[in-house]
Amino acid sequence: MSSTIPIFALVDCNNFYVSCERVVDPSLEGKPVVVLSNNDGIVVARSNEVKALGVPMGAPLFKVKDILQKAKAKVFSSNFRLYGEMSSRVLNVLKDFCADIQVYSIDEAFLYLSNLDLKDFVSFGSDLRSAIKTRTGIPVSVGIAGTKTLAKVASEFGKKKPDLNGVLSFVTSEGCAEEENFINEYLSQLPVGDIWGVGRQYTKMLDSYGISTALEFKQLPESFIKKSMTVGGLRTLMELRGVSCIPLENEEKPRKGILCSRSFGKPVTDVTLLREAVSTFTSNVCEKLRSQGSKAYRIDVFIRTSVFREGDKKFKNSGFLKLSEASDSTVDFIKAAHLILSKIYKKGYDYKKVGVYLSEIVPKNFGQLNLFQPKGHDKFRKIDELKDSLNSKMGKDTIFYASCGVEKAWRGNKHYSHDNNLLDLRMLN
DNA sequence: TCTGGGGTCCTAGGACCC
DNA sequence: TCTGGGGTCCTAGGACCC
């Protein structure tokens, strides 16, 4: 008999990017390791050793460099091809355990367990955990509960409390919710800001009412939550009380917006360089658009100077265009993007970041079948198709539009890469 | 000298209409 | 000598997530 109440598991990879680097180079095990964001700006992943040093998530590198150096920490620029590859390996293991999977992020997935007829949820979690470790080298934590939000809570404790060995279940072996007191004991130890759905602003607001733990939050009146945190907050509240409001979404939905933005390695003043960056980012978003079988009506371009540098002249601007017909053609959008840029660009500023955003996205075959497409369109479509297939076979940027520029002087910093990333991937096979 | 990038959903308020 | 009321649609911005 399969269980009728919903049961979710959250599988969360520990310090994911760091763990990936350790799979490539096992000698990093037990040593302090961090992975940096694009442009080497901030710390986006920390090993436990680095967390113990008090380096916070998102810390600017220059602020923690001394600490890291003193601890002889290993520092890596990000290597998303590696992380993406490792992520799909973990997913492959999950698929052997459960068919109902929602890939939530590069390092997290929800499983729907109610149809599996499981006897013992803790040992299911342990089996899963050791299979992933054996087959991919990645350590994970598993949380099991009657709602997604509680499963998140459980996995956080699974990660933090060593005696749990990476697994915590809020569901008994009979498939019932654990005693209220059992769950509440954990909720009383969880800072309210660590609840899934409660971010910095809400934490501040709740703090002003003296609410600091998840248990205190759980006991607040619904009317108060609805008023101050809208329906999303109410959902979180109900989920903490064991009422499942957020279902598993196991099919991949096409993106409603597609963004490409970068901070530059060095500030850019020259509009020609800016135009090259905008072309490159536009080309990227169009490629993603085509790969999900969509077209878009709208393109936004934004530019800005550094948000942080004191004393600098600050400036930001943005603009958008709507096409009369949805398109997925790189040429169409590069033209539009250049037009927007020429309108929003102002001379004499040190630009630090540029972005291109496609939205108002529809399926490729959406709407009127217009048999009378402008003539030139077919030619450009074929160019894009050829470009996509070549680049996917032979590597990104095998061919690209000339307006994207060759030197890419605006490119971000990557000072901490191993130059043999490709080799790394091959070594794993 | 130095601070990421890519998403989703919700709501308030303006524009417009009768 | 003083500015209706109610509906819908759209968008910008703010909250959240990883």
Point out the residue nearest to B6 (C-alpha to C1'). Answer: A259
- How far does the CA of A230 sit from the C1' of C2, in Å? 39
Does at least one atom of strand B sit less than 7 Å from the CB of A290? Answer: no
pLDDT string in tens for chain A (429-residue length) = 455 789 999 999 999 999 999 999 999 999 999 999 999 999 999 999 999 999 999 999 999 999 999 999 999 999 999 999 999 999 999 999 999 999 999 999 999 999 998 989 999 999 999 999 999 999 999 999 999 999 999 999 999 999 999 999 999 877 777 788 999 999 999 999 999 999 999 999 999 999 999 999 999 999 999 999 999 999 999 999 999 999 999 999 999 999 999 999 999 999 999 999 999 999 999 999 999 999 999 999 999 999 888 777 889 999 999 998 999 999 999 999 999 999 999 999 999 999 999 999 999 987 655 555 555 566 677 777 777 676 677 667 766 777 787 777 778 899 998 754 444 444 454
pLDDT value at residue A274: 96
**Do you know the residue count of chain A?**
429
pLDDT value at residue A407: 74
> How far lies A294's CA from each of A253, A288, A334, A394, in Å?
11, 9, 17, 24
Distance CA A128, CA A136 (A): 12
Structure tokens, A371: 């048999």
Q: Which nucleotide is nearest to A263 (CA to C1')?
A: B4
pLDDT value at residue A419: 58
- How far does the CA of A319 sit from the C1' of B13, in Å? 21
pLDDT value at residue A426: 46
- How far does the CA of A362 sit from the C1' of B15, in Å? 26
- How far does the CA of A298 sit from the C1' of B9, in Å? 20
> How far lies A303's CA from each of A17, A272, A319, A343, A401, in Å?
29, 14, 9, 11, 21
Residues 6+ apart with CB under 8 A from A123: none
- How far does the CA of A150 sit from the C1' of C8, in Å? 39
Does at least one atom of strand B sit less than 7 Å from the CB of A411? Answer: no
Does at least one atom of strand B sit less than 7 Å from the CB of A69? Answer: no
For residue A302, the cross-strand partners are: A318, A355
The strands making up A108-112's β-sheet, listed across from edge to edge, are A101-105, A108-112, A8-13, A140-145, A167-169
How many other β-carbons are positioned within 10 Å of the β-carbon of residue A111? Answer: 26
Is the pTM value of this prediction over 0.95?
no
